[in-house]
Structure 1
Amino acid sequence: MPRAVLRARGALRRALPALLVYAGVRALGIAVLAVWGYWTGKSPHQLLSARWDSLWYARIAEDGYGYTLHLPGGKVHSDLAFFPLLPWLERGLSAVFPLSAGDAGLVVSAVSSLLAAWAVYLIGERLYGRRAGVALVALWAALPVGIVQSMAYSESLFTALAAWSLYAVLTGRWVWAGSFAALAGLTRPVGAAVVLAVWLGVLVALRQGKEHGERGEEAARPALPRMLLGAVLAPLGWLAYFAWVGVRTGGPTGYLDVQGGWGNGFDGGLAFGSFVAQRLFGPAFAAGLGLLVGVGLVLWLYAACVRQRQPLPLLGYAGAVLLLALTAKGYFGSKPRLMMPAFPLLLPLAVAAARARPVRAVLTVSTVVLVSAVYGAFWLNGSGPP
């Protein structure tokens, strides 16, 4: 049996407890959503597969690109805002199996979320041990917006590709790292964060080779072509889609113009700051304070990651995801979802859980899981999209 297959089997065997924990957390979230839906009369299946962004992905899978919705106030919603990898997979599954595009999206999310949990575990295990890896997976599954991992959205697919790219960077598999980054760049605009991680990994490896002197440089020399190939591959998916939209719209800023039609874009966080301030100094003071505390917690976690001395590719990736989420304008209810792929932020909490007494760690994480399941059902039954 090939050595690579044996390594993969061993990695899967080690990750099995974490994958079982992940499946249990997500199953609980869906069960609570089903019970909530029973009392409210809303279909959990429709909430997960046929609302908001999932409808846009399904339409692209079925009819291709070209749908535009003109709204009052001058907003123009074009399906070009949605990257193509998820609808491509939905179309492929629908062609092979008797599935609608939305149901195919659920299958993609289910498989992708397990693959993401596997890579997340391997990263946690490599850096801080097996218990930290399991805790990291459990915490990622139990995020307040973790229900999105079970929706026909692209977050699970993106996180899987990003996490495997990061793991490949940490283990020096540069062609795999670049390939996964290229696919992540076909999934979401934040694929740029994965490109950054690959490039930082290459720079760190080259610098370490120089620091180790001639022997280090000689050892790194055979890997140099693979490093360069990975660095070149990494941005190709992201750049290809931006270029294609530019050709389609007739201008080099085509994708940015499409996002502008949705009311999205990057303004350095001015719109988000104004949104929070309006609530702090208005009748929705509690909501504004909650948002302020939430942003502070996220920034505190990132500072904890820096103090933890995480590898630079992880810090660069998580920092870029946060920066893009917090400085973008648009629908602010989606910001928690946009930050969900930044799983390295949870590493300080995972290490703390791993070092705690087992009973205390299990009780704490179980409480977080229960709260997350209830909040996810409440959130998904709200009026606005996640």
Structure 2
Amino acid sequence: MKSLDWVKSKLQNKYIFILTIFILSRIFIWLVGAVYNVFDGSDQSIWDLLFRWDSPWYKGIIVDGYMDSPQGMTGNNAANWAFFPLYPMIVKVFYMMTNIRVEILGSVISSIIILIASFVIYDYCVEIKNEKCAKIAMILLFVGPYSFYTATLYTESLYILFTILFFYFLKKDKWILAGICGGLVSATRVTGAILVFPMMIMFLRPVFERKEKFLDAVKRFFLDGKYLLSFLLVPSGIFAYMVYLYNKVGDPFAFKNIQIAWGRENSNPIDVLIGGFVTYDGKINSPFWIYLGVWAIFGIVISLYMFKKKKFEEGIFSLITIIIPMLSSLQSIPRYVMGNVLVIIFSSLFIEEHFKKSRWIVLGLLIIYNAVLLWLWFNGNPIMP
């Protein structure tokens, strides 16, 4: 009993708790991979098992740079312009320094980045709720559904890190630092530019709360240069990438226009969501699309939950980042939902508030669910990209 009490006391320490869950999460991925190899009759390394779907695109950017013209996929009509540059640039630096296999390097770097992010996420959760919420968030972050993306050659870890830093600095009234982080997010994914909306809500809060007149807020915006600069910094990442693409291929919107190669064309997000459940001729859709539709609804509900909690800055960003991919398709929507750090945080808050007596059962089921998803990822199941 004394040894058990000693373990419990140690886990009360934030850093020990986070490191413990992080290490266990990587052991978890390795164990699922080992079992998968046994049943599959293969002997793939964990690095090769994790190297799926978009990972080869990022590897191509790291090793060979951006393409001069479309030449990818079976129709030779795809190009790696769709993938934003910050993450592959970071991996490339270490690749040039070490010459370690990109598959290994990407996985290790993503894992280190998410570990760094976890400490900020933990403190953020404590500020909005308590330590219990923070610990639940750590479990969801490292071993919750789709958490294995943070161990792959994908942008999830970097996107999560700079998004949470943006909101952390914004809440601390450090506008320039928030703007810089916003710019780094927009250099990681196109949705980073949307961070101007939560920044705008934060700036106008005194007006909404009737503590300041609108005209006085306008004066404050232009007289104090930190506000204008911070707003301009947020989309700087995507603007820099657009300039690069213009010089490279003559089209600053190549990252968007090339999406047609993946069958993504703009549509009404409501129609896309309904289409996940019902086909155009009124029949029930396949389980594949229904599954994706359920995830889209979950993401929207959690975003609205943020509004209920009066976290308007978080809610507007979360809602828009879930609606944007729905402009074209439900494909990959679970990744966009659970790759949103705010969804992780407020899902943790919801579990802490509404499953007080059964939270460990809920978390256990979610971990098992993640193991199934990881297995499907290793197997190259089309539901996973």
Check whether TM > 0.5. Answer: yes
Matches within 5 A, 1:19-38: 19-38=19-38
1:160 is aligned to 161
Tell me: CA distance 1:285–1:210, structure 2 relative to 1, closer, same or farther (3 Å).
closer
Q: Is the 8 A contact 2:322 2:333 kept in 1?
A: no
SS at match of 1:382: coil
Change (3 A) 1:275 1:362: closer
Q: CA deviation at 1:233?
A: 1.1
Q: 1:319 to 1:207 in 2, by over 3 A?
A: same
TM-score (norm 2): 0.82
Give the direction of change, closer, same or farther, for the CA distance of 1:236–1:28 in structure 2 (3 Å limit). same
Q: Are the aligned partners of 2:278 and 2:285 in contact in 1 as well (CA < 8 Å)?
A: no
2:317 counterpart residue number: 317
Please, which of 342, 367, 371 is the counterpart of residue 340 of structure 2?
Answer: 342
Q: What per-residue deviation string (whole Å, max 9, x for no partner) do you get for residues 90-120 of structure 1? A: 1111122241222221122111111222222
Q: Indicate the residue corresponding to 1:5 in structure 2.
A: none
Aligned equivalent of 1:124 = 125
Give, in whole Å, the separation in 2 of the partners of 1:207 and 1:23. 46
Map 1:49-128 → 2, pairs under 5 A:
49=51, 51-66=52-67, 68-69=70-71, 76-128=77-129
Aligned length: 364
Percentage of identical aligned residues: 20
User: Compared with structure 1, are the counterparts of its residues 245 and 52 closer, same or farther at alpha carbon in structure 2 (3 Å cutoff)?
Assistant: same
Q: Which moved more, 1:90-99 or 1:222-231?
A: 222-231
Look up the equivalent residue of 2:377 and give its one-letter code: W
Distance 1:304 1:148 in 2: 25
Cα distance in structure 1, aligned partners of 2:276 and 2:294: 14
> Structure 1: which 5+ residue stretches go unaligned?
1-12
Note closer, same or farther for the CA distance 1:222–1:208 as it changes in structure 2 (3 Å cut). Answer: farther
Partner of residue 6, structure 2: none
**Matches for 1:1-386 after TM superposition, within 5 Å:** 14=14, 16-40=16-40, 41=42, 43=44, 44-49=46-51, 51-66=52-67, 68-69=70-71, 76-204=77-205, 207=207, 211=211, 224-269=224-269, 270-271=271-272, 273-274=274-275, 276-278=277-279, 285-310=286-311, 312-329=312-329, 332-355=330-353, 360-384=358-382, 386=385
Cα root mean square deviation, aligned = 3.2
Amino acid paired to 1:335:
I
Of 132-141 and 148-157, the range deviating more from structure 2: 132-141
Residue 178 (structure 1) shift: 0.9
Taking the aligned partners of 1:77 and 1:361, their CA distance within structure 2 comes to: 44
CA separation of 1:239 and 1:306: change in aligned 2, threshold 3 A: same
Give the alignment's TM-score, normalised by structure 1. Answer: 0.82
Ranges in structure 2 where 5+ consecutive residues have no aligned partner: 1-12
Contact residue 95 and residue 102 of structure 2 kept, 8 A: yes
Amino acid in the other structure paired with 2:321: V
Q: Tell me the equivalent position of 2:8.
A: none
CA distance in 1, matches of 2:300, 2:150: 23
Which secondary structure does the structure 1 equivalent of 2:78 belong to? strand
